[in-house]
Amino acid sequence: MNAIIVSTLLGVIMMFVSWMTTSTRIQKNIGLVGMLLLIAANFLQQKGWWVINFDTKGMLAFNQIGLFANMLLFILTFLYVWINGDEIGKIGNHTADFFAIFFFILCGVSILTSFDNLLMLFIGIEILSIPLYILTGSDKKNLLSNEASLKYFLMGSFSTGVLLLGITLIYGATGSFHLAMPIVNPKTHLVNENFLMSAGLILLFVSMNFKVSAAPFHFWTPDVYDGAPTVFTSFMATIVKAAGFIAFIRVFEAQRIALGYTWPIILSFVIVATLLVGNITAVFQRSVKRMLAYSSIAQAGFMLFALYGNSIFNTEAILLYIVAYSLATIGLFAVLVKMKDYSFDSYNGLAKKHPALAFVTTLFLFSLAGIPLTAGFFAKYYMLNALLTAGAGLWLLIVAILFAAVSVFYYFRLIQAMYFISGEPAINELDKTYELKLWVIAVLIIIMGVFPGFMFNYLYF
Amino acid sequence: MFLLLFLLIPILAAIALLFIKKEQYVNAVAIAAGLFTLLAAVNIIMNKTVSFDATWLPVLNSRFVLQADGVAKILILLTAISFPAIFIATGKNQTHQKNIFLALMLLTQAGLMGVFLAGDALLFYFFWELALIPVYFLCSIWGGEKRIAVTFKFFIYTFLGSLFMLIGIILLYTNTLDHSFAIESLKHANVTPGQSASAFALFFIAFAIKMPIFPLHTWQPDAYEQSPTAVTMVLSAVMVKMGLYGIIRWLMPLFPDAFLAHANIVVILSVIGILYASFIAIRQDDLKRLIAYSSIAHIGLMSAALFTNIQIGVQGALVQLFSHGINVLGLWIIADIIEQQTGTRSMKALGGLAKKQPTLAILLVGFSFANIALPLTNAFVGEFLMFNSLFQFNPYIAAAAGVSVILAAVYTLNMVQKVAYGEISSAVNNMQAVNKNAQAVLIVLIVVVFFTGVYPQPLFDLTADTLKQLFVK
């Protein structure tokens, strides 16, 4: 509860900050302090030292895993803002507004990690999505940004409609919005009407797939990610997507039982389609930004594995995957932001001119590709392990790693451009502190790649 | 603790090299690191089995286990000999950013040592990949004209293979009783025969790509040709042994039943590979490609012998792991000298080396004899044992594989004839005095060739414990 309330308050405060000061730098720093406050508030609830609490009639339920997910996403947001603060300041006239939007999104995130009721899921998704439409269109003078925003808004509202319909059908079947639904409908006194229930769950499934950009509901992703200002793409592709996954898992953790044996079949279909579309399309991209958009679809395919089973392995795996994927993606986008154009060629010869920058970029790419000693390896390892433990067929794992090998194809194109092709990189001026910030991410990735356990030690002890 | 040296010396030296820019020190540091590792290796060989065990990933119950048994020791020795030899022999070659080149070479060495020492499956996988990454950069930056595409093919092949192995590891791990990656636990994993066969196949693909076994070999000749020579030496002398080592260390103990069940297929594939590579080698004009194909043929024989699962065959392969490394290293060094001095690798353009550079020609003949496995050379010992086991396995297959001995003689002697004898060609005529360091290395290597050829007992003693583990129940 702490996080929800504090983030809302901070959002409101940030809205008014631009009246007090016009300096982007001060606004940014206030935003960063706000993030720290939010992290602290969540930490206090984790430890149980200071908890704002009132009766939500079972709409929200806070457990350690949800709070931990909050923590991870808040810290990721903090890192994201810390690195990209200056770039955010360059877009639009009112920097503080963007921070307000971030806090509202984080409010949505905290609801999505703790809802216990399908209505709260709906509200969480809406609180998360509406600010995103604004962020996407925040580059007002850019036609692409406007187009992306409109597209995202139309598609997003449609999928929200589907979500609502799904919730309605489930209510019809069970007479309850609660996640732990009664088996017997108290109104009709019938055991869950199977057809209604399954139809509702399938609609829910479709809509959640849309939010996490899983194929075949991914069509908005490349255009929106490409059109949105690059700094915000980075935010959407990481923290927002991660929150979507946590909500996805929360809904289907218990409810999949209603789908019975069809669940693995549907899920496998979506997984394979997502891996296929994401990876194969990414190979043919000419723009790094679009490649990263497709790569985020492809990575979503891996994250969907967490839905296959219902054990602690899955939760651990998705949390680790979220962190590994988000860190690397934030890092890559932070480099991309500094590029003059987004083609692969603009990276040519980067290793000669900025060896340190090229090195950290390589690390990020290694992590996404899942090469050992980086966080990405253990993320993939945990996922595959969870999948196998959940009793998935070996064929699914083999498909997964075949596509992991395909992903090396496009990630390494950047490495080839940086190290093996000579040229003049099209990169803007960099200051030393910016590189230093990227090193922080790189070090985090390495630490998690050597000792993946430390994250969970924190969770359990 | 002592085993950590094999990882620490190269890694620390590599880090140091990043900060040393002066050309003359760079090579000295690398050679010193190589020689220290060699000293450590000699020390290990004198001792009995040693191991190191430390906590690493308590959440996964994976431990940092290093252990040096016979097969590990012989490959550590080979690695420890190869790297300083390569550094000394190619030290004079012109290379831009030499410090980074050598740093990556040393990282490769650390990765290889890790592969040979790891006693924990996850750790093994880690090192397996770590040995690959520096090579990817080495070949792509310093290689020949088509380096980027060729190296990428090599990388994707091996990476895919290792991912298959990862699934195999996970498959076994989830079925172990104590959830551990230790060889002993994996050996007693509670798997159905079907799962065991799948895991066997997954591991085998990784090793087969690395060796490589026909039809997964297509990355190899290109990669050997396009890599800088120093890297080619590492690839063919040491790195291909990773696959064979994997078979001995992991495949044979973990999947005894699946291993026997698939022996026929693998032996036949290997023999096809041997003949195929030998025939192609006959048609080659490029020295590097010729040695590359000849190497495929030799590795094929070793894999066939391992899969016969007969003790003397495995014994032969164990000895040959070492001998093949030494021989092929010698051939590469000679090829490198010739290329550096004449600017060509085409055998048509060479000739008359014996008149111009008699010492080099004698060395070439020596290593060529070893390549054909003539008696008194080290390769004879291993090949004799391996053919023996193949004959016990199936006389017809042995006969087919035996043809490769004749073919080896054809292409090797043809090469010697074209390069060393005949009229002095203009290319050879331009040769300067041969680099003394390289010659010294060659002489040391040729002494090893004939010494182990005449008195191979130390090698047998070294690997006895591995054989005992595999065959004495």
Q: What is the pLDDT of residue A150?
A: 92
> Across chain A, what does the average pLDDT equal?
87
Tokens of A162: 């589907």
Indicate the pLDDT class of residue A273, thresholds 50, 70 and 90. Answer: very high
The whole-angstrom separation of Cα A307 and Cα A291 is 25
| Chosen from A279, A319, A320, A381 to mutate, greatest number of chain B CBs within 10 A | A381
Contacts of A416 in chain B (CB under 8 A): 140, 148, 152
Q: Which of B58, B130, B140 sits opposite A416 (nearest CB)?
A: B140
> Given an 8 Å threshold on Cβ–Cβ distance, is A401 in contact with B167?
yes
The whole-angstrom separation of Cα B237 and Cα A216 is 48
User: Pick from B210, B237, B260: which residue ends a domain?
Assistant: B260
Contacts of A412 in chain B (CB under 8 A): 152, 155
Whole-prediction pTM value?
0.91
Q: What share of residues in chain B are helix, strand, coil (percent, to 5)?
A: 80, 5, 15
Contacts of B129 in chain A (CB under 8 A): 371-372
Distance, in angstroms, between A409 CA and closest chain B CA? Answer: 8
Contacts of B141 in chain A (CB under 8 A): 419-420
Least confident stretch, A298-302, A429-433, B136-140, B381-385: A429-433
Q: What is the pLDDT of residue A291?
A: 92
A-B CB pairs within 8 A amount to 67
Using the 8-state DSSP alphabet, how is residue B118 labeled? B
Least confident stretch, B116-120, B179-183, B389-393: B179-183
Indicate the pLDDT class of residue A191, thresholds 50, 70 and 90. Answer: low
Contacts of A388 in chain B (CB under 8 A): 167, 170-171, 174
Beta partners for residue A117, in sequence order: A178
Indicate the pLDDT class of residue A189, thresholds 50, 70 and 90. Answer: low
* B162 and B30 housed in the same domain: yes
Long-range contacts of A122-131 (CB under 8 A, 24+ apart): A122/A160, A122/A163, A122/A164, A122/A167, A124/A247, A125/A160, A125/A163, A125/A211, A125/A247, A126/A160, A128/A240, A128/A243, A128/A244, A129/A156, A129/A160, A129/A211, A131/A101, A131/A102, A131/A104, A131/A105
> Does the pLDDT at position B473 exceed 70?
no
What does the pLDDT average to over B413-417?
Answer: 87
State how many domains chain A has. Answer: 2
| Chosen from B100, B125, B152, B192 to mutate, greatest number of chain A CBs within 10 A | B152
> Does the pLDDT at position A461 exceed 60?
no
The whole-angstrom separation of Cα A128 and Cα A146 is 19
Distance, in angstroms, between A404 CA and closest chain B CA? Answer: 8
Q: Which of B57, B60, B171 sits opposite A388 (nearest CB)?
A: B171
> Given an 8 Å threshold on Cβ–Cβ distance, is B167 in contact with A394?
yes
Any idea which residue has 């433990």 for tokens?
A389
User: Pick from A94, A114, A134: which residue ends a domain?
Assistant: A114
Contacts of B145 in chain A (CB under 8 A): none
Contacts of A452 in chain B (CB under 8 A): 57, 59-60
What does the pLDDT average to over B203-221?
Answer: 85
* Contact (CB, 8 A) for A386 and A308: yes
ipTM score for this prediction: 0.88
CA dihedral A210, A212, A214, A220 (to 10 degrees): 60
* B219 and B233 housed in the same domain: yes
Range with the largest mean pLDDT of A21-30, A89-98, A143-152, A421-430:
A143-152
* B123 and B248 housed in the same domain: yes
* Contact (CB, 8 A) for A164 and A204: no
Contacts of B130 in chain A (CB under 8 A): 372-373
Q: What is the pLDDT of residue B94?
A: 72
* B273 and B220 housed in the same domain: no
User: Pick from A114, A139, A156: which residue ends a domain?
Assistant: A114
Q: What is the pLDDT of residue A271?
A: 92
- Model confidence over A115-125: pLDDT tens digits? 888 899 999 99
- Provide the residue range defining the domain that includes B157: 1-260
> Does the pLDDT at position A374 exceed 60?
yes
Distance, in angstroms, between B223 CA and closest chain A CA? Answer: 16
> Across chain B, what does the average pLDDT equal?
85
What does the pLDDT average to over A396-417?
Answer: 90
Q: What is the pLDDT of residue A184?
A: 64
Distance, in angstroms, between A400 CA and closest chain B CA? Answer: 10
Q: What is the pLDDT of residue A78?
A: 93
Using the 8-state DSSP alphabet, how is residue B424 labeled? P
Percent of chain B with pLDDT over 90: 3
Contacts of B59 in chain A (CB under 8 A): 452-453, 456-457
A103 contact partners, CB below 8 Å, separation of at least 6: A7, A8, A10, A11, A14, A34, A38
Q: What is the pLDDT of residue A187?
A: 66
- Model confidence over B55-103: pLDDT tens digits? 887 777 788 888 888 888 888 889 998 988 888 888 777 777 888 888 8
Distance, in angstroms, between B209 CA and closest chain A CA? Answer: 14
Handedness of CA A333, A90, A355, B107 (dihedral sign): negative
Beta partners for residue A60, in sequence order: A115
Q: What is the pLDDT of residue A190?
A: 63
User: Pick from A114, A144, A160: which residue ends a domain?
Assistant: A114
Any idea which residue has 């636990």 for tokens?
B185
Contacts of A391 in chain B (CB under 8 A): none
The whole-angstrom separation of Cα A42 and Cα A29 is 20
Q: What is the pLDDT of residue A460?
A: 63
> Given an 8 Å threshold on Cβ–Cβ distance, is B130 in contact with A372?
yes
What does the pLDDT average to over A38-44?
Answer: 90
Q: What is the pLDDT of residue A186?
A: 64
Contacts of B160 in chain A (CB under 8 A): 401-402, 405
Q: Which of A394, A402, A453 sits opposite B57 (nearest CB)?
A: A453
Residues in chain A whose Cβ is within 8 Å of chain B = 366, 371-373, 381, 384-385, 388-389, 394, 397-398, 401-402, 404-405, 408-409, 412, 416, 419-421, 451-453, 456-457
Distance, in angstroms, between A313 CA and closest chain B CA? Answer: 11
Q: What is the pLDDT of residue A353?
A: 85
Q: Which of A373, A394, A421 sits opposite B130 (nearest CB)?
A: A373
Q: What is the pLDDT of residue A126?
A: 92
Distance, in angstroms, between A376 CA and closest chain B CA? Answer: 13
* B219 and B284 housed in the same domain: no
- Model confidence over A127-179: pLDDT tens digits? 999 999 999 988 888 888 999 999 999 999 999 999 999 999 988 888 888 88
* B247 and B270 housed in the same domain: no
Residue of chain A with shortest Cα separation from B125: A372
* B325 and B421 housed in the same domain: yes
Tokens of B459: 């090698």
User: Pick from B231, B260, B289: which residue ends a domain?
Assistant: B260
* B144 and B256 housed in the same domain: yes
Contacts of A409 in chain B (CB under 8 A): 156
State how many domains chain B has. Answer: 2
- Provide the residue range defining the domain that includes A20: 1-114
Q: Which of A381, A397, A419 sits opposite B137 (nearest CB)?
A: A419
Q: Which of A372, A420, A457 sits opposite B129 (nearest CB)?
A: A372
Distance, in angstroms, between B118 CA and closest chain A CA? Answer: 15
Instruction: Tell me if residue B167 falls in helix, strand or coil.
Output: helix
> Does the pLDDT at position B288 exceed 80?
yes
> Does the pLDDT at position B423 exceed 70?
yes
Residue of chain B with shortest Cα separation from A457: B59
Residue of chain A with shortest Cα separation from B145: A420
Contacts of A385 in chain B (CB under 8 A): 170, 173-174
User: Pick from B260, B292, B319: which residue ends a domain?
Assistant: B260
Helix-helix angle A312-337:A432-450, to 10 degrees: 160
* B191 and B79 housed in the same domain: yes
- Model confidence over A283-301: pLDDT tens digits? 998 899 999 999 999 999 9
> Given an 8 Å threshold on Cβ–Cβ distance, is A372 in contact with B125?
yes
